[in-house]
Structure 1
Amino acid sequence: MKNKLASFIENNQGITAIEYAIVGVGIATIVAAVMSNPALENALKDSMSKISTIISSL
């Protein structure tokens, strides 16, 4: 039992998976907030359009 606990603590793959899950939940929350608020959605669309225009003019 002690060896399994030590192996679990030393295994970084589980920690990395949890970190990615937390980041994914954060991004999903931001996307949901933007999509549920028309003002934020329009501001994001306008910003992306301006960026696209600037990039295409280069």
Structure 2
Amino acid sequence: MYLNIMVKLYEFKLYLLELRDDQRGVTAVEYAIIAVAMSAIILAVFKNGALKGALEDAVNAVQANMGTANE
């Protein structure tokens, strides 16, 4: 029985060593971090309507310039 426990502990140790050296999930974690950062940036831009206001100001400026150019 003691030998079985020792074998199981040794197998568990080998499993932990393999798990530590496994690099398969690293890219997925990096993409998840990038996705969170991008969504935070997008939320910050669209939350208070700053982008909408800037676009409306730009369109109004173009319309005003076109109106004065036609005169």
- TM normalised by structure 2 equals 0.51
The unaligned stretches of length 5 or more in structure 1 are 47-58
How many Å separate the matches in 1 of 2:27 and 2:42?
23
Q: Name which of 32, 35, 38 aligns with 1:24.
A: 35
The unaligned stretches of length 5 or more in structure 2 are 1-11, 59-71
How many Å separate the matches in 2 of 1:10 and 1:33?
38
Q: SS of the residue aligned with 1:31?
A: helix
The one-character-per-residue Cα deviations of 1:2-58 (angstroms, maximum 9, x if unpaired) are: 12111111111122211111111111111111110212x1347x6xxxxxxxxxxxx
Regions of 4+ moved over 2 Å:
none
Aligned counterpart, 1:14: 25
Aligned Cα root-mean-square deviation (Å) = 2.2
More contact order relative to length (CA 8 Å, sep ≥ 6): 1
- TM normalised by structure 1 equals 0.59
* Percent of paired sites with the same residue: 39
Q: Name the count of aligned residue pairs.
A: 45
